[in-house]
Structure 1
Amino acid sequence: MRTSRPRHRLRPLAAALTGAAGTLGITLALVATGTLSVAQGRVGPGAQQLGDPDYGVCRGTDARCYHDWGNFDTSQGFKVLLYTRTAGPRHANLGPALAPGMNPALTDANVVQKSVVKMGADNGFQVDYTEDVSELASPADLFKYNAVVFYSTSRDTLDDAAQTSLRQYIRGGGGFVGVHNAFGTEYNWPWYEGLLGNANFYDHGRNQPGTVQTVNRKDVSTKSLPDRWTISDEWYNLVPAPTRVRVLAEVDESTLAEGVSGNYHHPGHGKDHPVTWCQYYDGGRAWLTTLGHDAKDFSTDGSFPGAAEFQKMLLGGIESAMGKKPFCK
């Protein structure tokens, strides 16, 4: 039950963002006293909920926290931006750092990028990818995409312009998918911590097999998964741990031979150690998972336990965050 109310209500930022000719031509109009927005001729109902005492935004599982301003035209299909820039440790499954610009050449070692592009091609959505922060400099750049995926980004991977763009994109009804070391990103930005579900990376033990429990079978990302399935990962400890989110999957800590941090189980999680969850946040949608450490998560030959389940879950998370499938059920 809510015990306090915010002193101030957030006001939508008045802005008009128009794409160049030949693009989607998206227009965002946020009017401080109204709810009218036009994009490609469609009028959305605007914001239903604005303020909240937690991170100063509306967040949680109430769909009224989503702000439908009508900013996304899907007549030409769905489109996702994959962002993998690292400003600190770099996971091996990302391969070598990418050249500047959008969609630079990939090597076989760029497993994440090649796999997500193929996932999109196999399932009817386009994937652009980049590690060039300047490609995120304008909200108009991001509004071309139905969802933005941060996959094992690290540390301060965004500059001031990109931070502002991401925030306005989410406020305009954008979708966000955070995978694995997205939790080791932008540590000193409270709004981003809220986007992750009031969660942040603290530490992890060695990479080891464990059993994932599917605790919610209604969501599109988990409905086809077994009740219990095994995969190897680093099993991130989170401080703070996610709150006011819809937990979709947890790790059964009793199945981890060496605990999650050395030889002990993390006291902050105990029997409830979430690995996947979703929420509405500041007008947008956010689907999160701490899984995704190993390049073998994208194998298709059945040699890596849990790979098929992880791929199904990630696909569902992306499709729901971008509005192609129902979100956070």
Structure 2
Amino acid sequence: MKYILALLLFLCLTATAAAPADDPARMLVFTKTGGFRHDSIPVAVDILRMLGAGLGWQVDHGEDSTAFSPRNLARYRVVVFANTTGDVLDETQQAALREYIERGGGYVGIHSAADTEYDWPWYESLVGAWFRSHPPGLQKTRLSFAQDGIATHGREWQVTDELYNYRSNPRPRVRVVATIDERGYTGGTMGADHPIAWCHASGKGRAWYTGLGHRAEIYADETFRRHLLRGLRHAAGSSTDC
């Protein structure tokens, strides 16, 4: 009998030890929309799958808000709001997301993630700033990254996309990682300091947001992909750079 008990204990211990290797990091890509729906969503999902696979992550995509439960969110290292819009979570699901982040989870918001959950003040603090408006059409301007290693040459990038104005400048509350030059296009309302991407801590978790990602074509740009990858790694806690 004692040999059977010893064998069972050994099997339990080895199974526990082996579990992490068999349980890759996971990312949830959430694309539910309660308002405008971007045509670029399928492309965004494909690129996020590709970037996640490169990191060795398992990537799940969905639009079912019931995924936002404490038990299910505990499976994920990062949750991505990719071009979500409007009211996408009920109060119970909001509480689950907040608990997940404050206990150490990672959040990435892409473009209209800032056009989401306007009736939930905590979400504004998570995304960093809410969308106010955007100039008509797609416009090209100079974007400046705060760090090297993203743009092909130096820190400057000529980008064409839908360029958001925000309800407030998030700089006092976040670490800005990219700004755009309003002198290069028409319709900017934020002045000389116009953040377009940033990161910050939220509880024990990490949040990263980029205002880019409206155009499907931008996801094919290697600079944008490097930008997203840095955001994913930061949200996952794999890198202090964002």
- Give the TM bin, normalised by the shorter chain: 0.7 to 0.9
Change (3 A) 1:180 1:74: farther
User: In the alignment, is the contact (CA less than 8 A) between 1:200 and 1:241 conserved in 2?
Assistant: no
Q: Residue 163 of structure 2 corresponds to which residue in structure 1?
A: 235
Structure-1 residue corresponding to 2:192: 271
Q: Secondary structure at 1:92's aligned position in 2? A: coil
Change (3 A) 1:196 1:284: same
1:224 corresponds to which letter in structure 2?
I
2:141 aligned partner, one-letter code:
G
Does residue 223 of structure 2 align to residue 295 of structure 1?
Answer: no
CA distance, structure 2, for counterparts of residue 187 and residue 113 of structure 1: 24
Opposite residue 43 of structure 2, the aligned amino acid is V
Tell me which amino acid in the other structure corresponds to 2:231.
Answer: G
Distance (whole Å) between structure 1 residues aligned to residue 67 and residue 235 of structure 2? 21
Residues 75 and 320 (structure 1 numbering): CA distance in 2 closer, same or farther, change over 3 Å? farther
Give the aligned residue type for 2:235.
A
RMSD over equivalenced CA pairs, Å: 1.8
Partner of 1:97: none
Give the Cα separation in 1 of the matches to 2:149 and 2:194: 20
Over residues 1-49 of structure 1, what are the superposed CA-to-partner deviations in whole Å (9 max), with x where a residue is unaligned? xxxxxxxxxxxxxxxxxxxxxxxxxxxxxxxxxxxxxxx89xxxxxxxx
- 1:74: Cα distance to partner? 7.7
Distance 2:86 2:51 in 1: 27
What is the CA distance between 1:297 and its match in structure 2?
Answer: 1.4
CA contact (8 A) 1:78 1:324 kept: no
Give the equivalent residue in structure 2 for 1:103: none
1:77, CA displacement in angstroms? 3.0
**Partner residue in 2 for 1:53:** none
- 2:40 corresponds in structure 1 to 93
Count of residues paired in the alignment:
221
Greater fraction of residues in helix: 2
Which residue, 61, 68, 74 being the options, matches 1:143?
Answer: 74
Contiguous gaps of at least 5 residues in structure 2: 1-15
The one-character-per-residue Cα deviations of 1:114-139 (angstroms, maximum 9, x if unpaired) are: 22112212332221110011111x11
1:255 match:
184
Match of 2:236 in 1: 322
Query: 1:187–1:193: 8 Å Cα contact kept in structure 2?
Result: yes
Say whether the 8 Å CA contact 2:198–2:209 is kept in structure 1: yes
CA distance in 2, matches of 1:201, 1:74: 41
Residue identity opposite 1:316 in structure 2:
R
Find the partner of 1:83 among 30, 39, 51. 30
1:203 and 2:140 aligned: no
Judging changes above 3 Å, is the alpha-carbon distance between structure 1 residues 74 and 223 closer, same or farther for their aligned structure 2 residues?
Answer: farther
Tell me the amino acid that sits aligned with residue 82 of structure 2.
Answer: Y
- Per the alignment, do residues 201 and 175 of structure 1 end up closer, same or farther by CA in structure 2, a change over 3 Å counting? same
Residue among 101, 115, 139 paired with 1:170: 101
| 1:1-329 correspondence to structure 2 within 5 Å | 76-94=23-41, 110-136=42-68, 138-197=69-128, 199-205=129-135, 206-214=137-145, 216-217=146-147, 223-225=149-151, 226-242=154-170, 243-256=172-185, 259-260=186-187, 265-266=188-189, 269-299=190-220, 307-328=221-242
Structure 2 letter corresponding to 1:125: W
* Residue identity matched to 1:223: G
TM-superposition CA deviations, 1:276-329 (whole Å, max 9, x none): 111001221001111111111122xxxxxxx2111100011011101222354x
SS at match of 1:85: coil
Call closer, same or farther: CA 1:227–1:291 in 2, change over 3 Å: same
The two structures have a TM-score, normalised by structure 2, of 0.86
After superposition, the C-alpha distances for 1:228-250 in whole angstroms (9 at most, x for unaligned) are 11111111000122132111110
Q: Which runs of 5+ in 1 are unaligned?
A: 1-39, 42-72, 95-109, 300-306
Distance in 2 (CA, whole Å) between partners of 1:160 and 1:74 is 35
Contact 1:321 1:327 in 2 (8 A): no
- Match of 2:240, SS state, is coil
Aligned partners of 1:74 and 1:290: how far apart in 2?
A: 35
